[in-house]
Chains A and B, each alone.
Chain A
Amino acid sequence: MSKRLWRCHVCNDIHLGIKGPEICPTCRAKNAFVEIDHNEAMKMIGESGDPIDTKERLLQVWEDFTGQNEYELNEDREAVEMLASGVLHNQESGGLKYCPCRATTGEPDKDLLLVCPCNFPAQQRYREDRECWCSLFVKG
């Protein structure tokens, strides 16, 4: 089933998914999402969102992400900073925050699965070793 674009008609939140959320996470309106097209979504999004293109900003994003989950950032700060540098390099050269410990295949759908943070909790490495492929995220 392919994903489509949805907009909350109350606060203009944008969502990409099979269907819109029942409750808007921003304004809490119920059943407020209407399907829209790419053009409308991009106009709504505009220049929103602060760039995540510095190591400090990326580390903050990762810390916020881990703060609400069962995993945490690796205690090895040198390794974490090395990975941040790699992710930012890959974003600059390849357009997305690809994992520096894997390699793209050239197939867009497959490569989207390599964007950090990837879906590591579902991967064998995390289940067996309690860490993601590159050891950035480790189970607490």
Chain B
Amino acid sequence: MTEKGERLLFFSGRECPHCAKLRPVVEAVSEEEEVEIEEKEVWHSEQNASLMREYGEAIAEACGGDLGVPSLYNERTGKALCGKIDPESIREWIHEEP
């Protein structure tokens, strides 16, 4: 497992339809790029919700103001993506330099 500070995180909600649609896309890109993207479900795990709040500023900005799911957070760069996310954006988000 990747150490904290270096992780690629996928914040999701169990009952979020957009998250369910994005999950296979994230998994496919993760496999193609040979990197681990850890899914963190935020409505059934307070620990995961707290982690999301830790990165709240960048995530809220990417979501247009609120903390939203699905969202992706790169601990290395501090860059977040949110909402409708295409595979190419995920690839760029993975490889972007800080």
Stretch at the interface among A27-35, A58-66, A100-108: A100-108
- Does residue A90 face the partner (Cβ distance < 8 Å to B)? yes
Stretch at the interface among A6-14, A16-24, A36-44, A80-88: A80-88
Q: Name the CB-closest residue of A to B50.
A: A106
Question: Which residues of A in the span 84-117 have a Cβ within 8 Å of any Cβ on B?
Answer: 85-87, 89-90, 93, 100-106, 113-114
Chain B residues near A86: list those with CB within 8 A. Answer: 13-16, 43
Let me know if A82 and B17 touch, CB within 8 A: yes
Q: A-B pairs with CB below 8 Å: how many?
A: 69
Pick from A85, A105, A123, A124: contact of B15, CB below 8 A: A85
Chain A contact residues (Cβ within 8 angstroms of B): what range? Answer: 20 to 34
Q: Name the CB-closest residue of A to B60.
A: A105
Pick from A103, A114, A123, A134: contact of B17, CB below 8 A: A134
Q: How many angstroms from the CA of A78 to the CA of B15 in the assembled complex?
A: 11
* B residues adjacent to A (C-beta < 8 A): 11, 13-20, 42-44, 49, 52-53, 56, 63-64, 66-69, 83
* A residues adjacent to B (C-beta < 8 A): 76, 78-79, 82-83, 85-87, 89-90, 93, 100-106, 113-114, 123-125, 133-135
